[in-house]
Amino acid sequence: MSKIIINSNSSTIVLMLIFLASSTFFGIANAQNLTETSTTSKNLSLTELYELVIKSVVQVTKTTPPADPLGPDKENQTSLGTGFIYNDTGYIVTNNHVVEKAPVVDITFFNGDRYTANITGTDPFSDLAVIKINENVTKDLIKSLVIGNSSKLRVGDPVVAIGHPFGLESSMTTGIISQIGRLLSVDEKGFSIPNAIQTDALINPGNSGGPLLNMKGEVIGVNTAGIFPGNIGLAVPSDTVLRIIPVLIEGKNYTHPWLGVTGTTLTADLAKREKIDRSQKGVLIDNIVKDGPADLAGLNGSTINQYGEKRGGDLITSVDGKQIIKMEDLISYLELNKSVNENTTLSIYRDGETLDKQITLKSRPTAPITNQTQN
């Protein structure tokens, strides 16, 4: 179990999240790419959609040795997940947490055929991974799914999740897009996945890495986490998949731009504490990472006075001229529009004045720095 932070407009809701993976029977699920090379222009019935994509969805099984070989439990541990065929050369997309720390995993197709697959590449910051079957596979099995455009999603759109919850093979659940643009923060790493998709389609342990589909049978997300109780599912958007997976297939690491700050959306209470007009909007900087990009550019973090009272740092109001209202806006803009070693201009509000600061972005460090929402 892990914490998740979902930021919504003016408040931050901290909930308990179960990443749909485990070192036990309630394992992680891998995601798969849709295998049909052509898509339909019309919406399908649920039965038609299932029959179109199910052969492209696989079960992923990871086996790990016991943590303590000398302990009472000497048997290997098995976890289960889901994946989907990404392209016709046999690459499969799933979640990073499904295959983490496993050099090889087992793949089971809908018809029961089993193969082994190597880990081609992983990106912990987006919780995505790509694996490759390392045996000769019947050509009829390799049919890739079509990747859709997650930027066109609207609240209320019907969606379908397919996977292997609790080891129950090839299960389908239905729901709608409950919201888009969520910020999914995993506390072990201190970074966030922007633009996550929220759905009420039931996503249980074992669904991780499986496809979230629109009614045309296109992958619009990779199922990643569920919040229990509450029946809230979260998926990595397909636009993120299309940006990151090709880099991983090439055997490279995907680098994410990084400011080196933690912060929070300015609320009415924070504005009152900071003596800022309540009409002001932006992200209030809390901590600055030493020698990080923001530190080198001269941004200020929060301070604590001699009375133990905390005062916030600079207020980020825009980036490259784009208004920043909440933390999601800042992280999403940098992730989608900027690259490592590229310059960006932050407009900040400090002591009643608006200042522009040019910052050269660096690559996110691999080691966790904080469990706060950062970029």
Catalytic residues: 97, 127, 208
What is the C-alpha to C-alpha distance for residues 293 and 357, in angstroms, rounded to an integer? Answer: 11
Look up residue 297 and give its two tokens: 């550019």
Is the Cα dihedral 101, 102, 107, 108 positive or negative? negative
Virtual torsion, Cα 180, 281, 361, 289, nearest 10 deg: -110
The pairing of strands 310-311 and 104-108 is unpaired
What is the C-alpha to C-alpha distance for residues 85 and 203, in angstroms, rounded to an integer? Answer: 20
Report residue 339: phi and psi, to 5°: -130, 165
Please provide the DSSP assignment of 43-61 as one string: PPPHHHHHHHHGGGEEEEE
Which helix (DSSP H) or strand (DSSP E) does residue 121 occupy? strand 114-123
Task: Provide the 3-class DSSP secondary structure of residue 208.
Answer: coil
Beta carbons of 235 and 222 less than 8 angstroms apart: yes
What is the C-alpha to C-alpha distance for residues 330 and 346, in angstroms, rounded to an integer? Answer: 10
> Would you tell me how many other CB atoms lie within 10 Å of the CB of residue 286?
18
